[in-house]
Amino acid sequence: MLVRFWGTRGSLAKPGPGTLRYGGNTSCVEIRTASGALIVLDCGTGAHGLGQALSAEGAPVRGHLMITHTHWDHIQGFPFFAPLFQRANEWDIYAPGGLGLQLERTLAGQMEYTYFPVTLQQLGAVIRYHDLVEGSFMLDDVRVVTKYLNHPALALGYRLEADSVALVYSSDHEPHVPWVSMDSVAGAGDAPPAHREDLRHVEFLAGADLVIHDAQYDLAEYREKVGWGHTPAEYAVDYALAARARRLALYHHEPVRDDAGVDALLESCRRRVVSAGGQLEVFAAAEGQVIELAEGAGATMAATRPAAAPSGASPETILVADDDPTIVMLLRASLESDGFRVVTAGDGKAALDVARAERPALLLLDWQMPGISGVEVTRALRDDTDPAVRALPVVLITAQSGAENTAAGFAAGVTDYLTKPFRPAHVRARVRTWLLRRDDGAAER
Ligand SMILES: [Zn+2]
Ligand SMILES: [Zn+2]
């Protein structure tokens, strides 16, 4: 498997003398398998160069473009990607969808007349759009596994298994609960993460020959950017170590970090590997860099459900229970703007009554409520005589994010957490993730 980095920068293209070595273009990676399959990961400004290279080859291009999410830095190269304009070419384009999110519509929005002179309909190539959820599918001889990332937009990571190697592309992801103190320089070593979602992420990376991972911040910067949806490089190392990955590419470089700054971050990551006693090889992804992944352990991830998003979406009801009217108002506004019906409760007893009567698709419960707490409501639901009520997904709203409390909630049957303070964009993305995932049996784990 051949890997070529066309864009490694996060958030904003940053060309200039300070970024010559690691590059200024945003997210885009080209993958070629031994059988000749072409997979492009993300379509940031780096895709312009890739498009020119593909066009120069002359032959018709058959390719697959996998988009993590549609933030600008991951799709800004799309209207400038030359192979989409040529009639002989055929492209399949994938991105997270469902619950009203539709890739074709989103990409068309970026190419409306106000923003761009050519519309999506004017692209000459045969293009098929695929809305994905978490799951897996086959592309010729490549097995693709998708997993939701923790980001203020619905985002998917991609794991590609082919040629006896596994590559994981995990751009724009934030740890759910850091399982090592931010003051620790030693790293996690083999310690497993405390949060179930972080454990899932480690499983997603498991045994990979190459992990390309969001490493936008360092730990000191991260303190100021909690909730922004990105991983400090030190935690990318911890994830990769826990997953026993072979190689880690630091990726999605912070726009204000110059080449010397990336060098320094890389050095500290390598020290972290050494102090954890790991074998992980770490490098910082550089624009133009090519890596050949020779036959590896052939690590495969367990089979999951098909990744095709269900078509059509019915309006869903969500219960918000919190004794703080400001939180209720904020959540109601965020969720209603996404077309959800919102019912509310001001304490635990009322939440239980509404849950039994309405059987909402999702419950957002404050941990600390007068009378019955969110955890106690969850326990009561899990003990209900009605199987439909027992299965309701419950997300606890909490300001407590310590490992101890996290574990206690999961033991009581909580599906996940929403940690205060939160931003509306993050809530919207997380709610979609929980709803799109609810019927895959994840709650049983
Ligand atoms: Zn990004
Ligand atoms: Zn993003």
Task: Say if CB 416 and CB 392 are below 8 A apart.
Answer: no
Taking the centre of ligand 1 as the mean of its atom positions, its distance from the CA of residue 69, in whole angstroms, is: 8
Q: Which ligand is nearest to the CA of 215?
A: 1
* C-alpha Rg value of the chain to the nearest Å: 22
From CA 123, how far away is CA 112, in angstroms rounded? 13
Taking the centre of ligand 1 as the mean of its atom positions, its distance from the CA of residue 229, in whole angstroms, is: 9
SS (H, E, C) 73-129: HHHCCHHHCHHHCCCCCEEEEEEECECCECHHHHHHHHCCCCCCCCCHHHCCCEEEE
Instruction: With residue 270 as reference, give the H or E element that holds it.
Output: helix 259-275
Q: Which ligand is nearest to the CA of 26?
A: 1
Q: Which ligand is nearest to the CA of 228?
A: 2
Taking the centre of ligand 1 as the mean of its atom positions, its distance from the CA of residue 89, in whole angstroms, is: 27
Taking the centre of ligand 2 as the mean of its atom positions, its distance from the CA of residue 181, in whole angstroms, is: 25
Taking the centre of ligand 1 as the mean of its atom positions, its distance from the CA of residue 217, in whole angstroms, is: 12
From CA 88, how far away is CA 60, in angstroms rounded? 5
**DSSP assignment, residue 440?**
G
Taking the centre of ligand 2 as the mean of its atom positions, its distance from the CA of residue 153, in whole angstroms, is: 7
Taking the centre of ligand 1 as the mean of its atom positions, its distance from the CA of residue 281, in whole angstroms, is: 24
Taking the centre of ligand 1 as the mean of its atom positions, its distance from the CA of residue 213, in whole angstroms, is: 11
Helix axes 233-242, 259-275, angle to 10 degrees: 40
Taking the centre of ligand 1 as the mean of its atom positions, its distance from the CA of residue 389, in whole angstroms, is: 38
Strand 90-96 to strand 126-132: parallel, antiparallel, or no bridges (unpaired)? parallel
From CA 9, how far away is CA 46, in angstroms rounded? 9
Taking the centre of ligand 1 as the mean of its atom positions, its distance from the CA of residue 74, in whole angstroms, is: 6
Q: Going residue by residue through the chain (445 aa), what tens digit of pLDDT does each one get?
A: 999 999 999 999 999 999 999 999 999 999 999 999 999 999 999 999 999 999 999 899 999 999 999 999 999 999 999 999 999 999 999 999 988 888 999 999 999 999 999 999 999 999 999 999 999 999 989 999 999 999 999 999 999 999 999 999 999 999 987 655 566 655 665 567 778 899 999 999 999 999 999 999 999 999 899 889 999 999 999 999 999 999 999 999 999 999 999 999 999 999 999 999 999 999 999 999 999 999 877 788 886 788 888 776 667 899 999 999 999 999 999 999 999 999 999 999 999 999 999 999 999 999 999 899 999 999 999 999 999 999 999 999 988 656 557 778 888 999 998 888 888 999 999 999 999 987 544 333 2
Taking the centre of ligand 1 as the mean of its atom positions, its distance from the CA of residue 197, in whole angstroms, is: 20
Q: Which ligand is nearest to the CA of 425?
A: 2
Taking the centre of ligand 1 as the mean of its atom positions, its distance from the CA of residue 11, in whole angstroms, is: 5
Taking the centre of ligand 1 as the mean of its atom positions, its distance from the CA of residue 345, in whole angstroms, is: 36
Q: What is the pTM of this model?
A: 0.93
The residue among 377, 437, 362, 384 whose CA lies nearest residue 409 is 377
Neighbours of ion ligand 2 (CB under 5 A): 71, 172
Taking the centre of ligand 1 as the mean of its atom positions, its distance from the CA of residue 97, in whole angstroms, is: 17
Taking the centre of ligand 1 as the mean of its atom positions, its distance from the CA of residue 28, in whole angstroms, is: 11
Taking the centre of ligand 2 as the mean of its atom positions, its distance from the CA of residue 354, in whole angstroms, is: 35
Taking the centre of ligand 1 as the mean of its atom positions, its distance from the CA of residue 256, in whole angstroms, is: 14
Q: Which ligand is nearest to the CA of 70?
A: 2
pLDDT, position 445 = 28
Taking the centre of ligand 2 as the mean of its atom positions, its distance from the CA of residue 13, in whole angstroms, is: 13
pLDDT, position 444 = 34
Taking the centre of ligand 2 as the mean of its atom positions, its distance from the CA of residue 72, in whole angstroms, is: 8
